[in-house]
Amino acid sequence: MIVVVLNGSINSGKTTTGRALAALLPGARFIDGDDHGIPESVPFQQMIDRAVLWVADQITAATEPVLVIAYPMRDSDFAMLQSACATRHARLFVATLAPPLAVALTNRGARELDDGERARIHEMYAEGYPARTFSDIIVTDLATPEQTAAMLALHIARL
């Protein structure tokens, strides 16, 4: 089993690229980390902690040969997902999507950023999301999501 996690800030292209990547990989299932179902009324830090547990549970329960997960990771999240992969004897591959900050702050596709999201993007860049040391690859160019997915599929095929 291979678990591909697309890391990056808000609006870095994780979901769009992840869907395109899953479509290219035989037997792959796409999981959007934002689909955790945790109510917005839960305090932000608790929501993040519960969401990463949900993602880890998705890895543990998966039956597919490949999972493609869109989720921004902190070091502690990486450790938890790495542990979940170890219990499944799965290979974890982390691709960090890191467009320039100015690009991440723009409305792209159908997404309309609000002021809170823009502030959080600034925070995520300051916190180091675009340059995580646990990344197998960091993608900084401005390729389309489909081009990025194709490039990542080639890397994953080599695993």
Q: What is the pLDDT of residue 41?
A: 79
- Domains of the chain, by residue range, sit at 2-157
Cite the DSSP H helix spans in the chain. Answer: 14-24, 44-61, 75-87, 101-104, 115-126, 145-157
pLDDT at position 18 over 80 = yes
Q: What is the pLDDT of residue 36?
A: 76
* Residue 5 and residue 81 in contact, taking contact as beta carbons nearer than 8 Å: yes
Q: Kindly report, residue by residue over 102-117, the tens digit of the pLDDT.
A: 999 999 877 899 999 9
Cβ neighbours of 40 (radius 10 Å): 6
Question: What superfamily would CATH give domain 2-157?
Answer: P-loop containing nucleotide triphosphate hydrolases (3.40.50.300)
pLDDT at position 97 over 80 = yes
Q: Which two tokens stand for residue 77?
A: 């999240």
Distance of CA 113 to the CA centre of its chain: 18
pLDDT at position 19 over 90 = yes
Q: Kindly report, residue by residue over 56-71, the tens digit of the pLDDT.
A: 999 999 999 999 999 9
Question: In DSSP terms, which residues pair with 116 in a beta bridge?
Answer: none
State how far the Cα of 59 lies from the Cα of 82, in Å rounded to an integer: 10
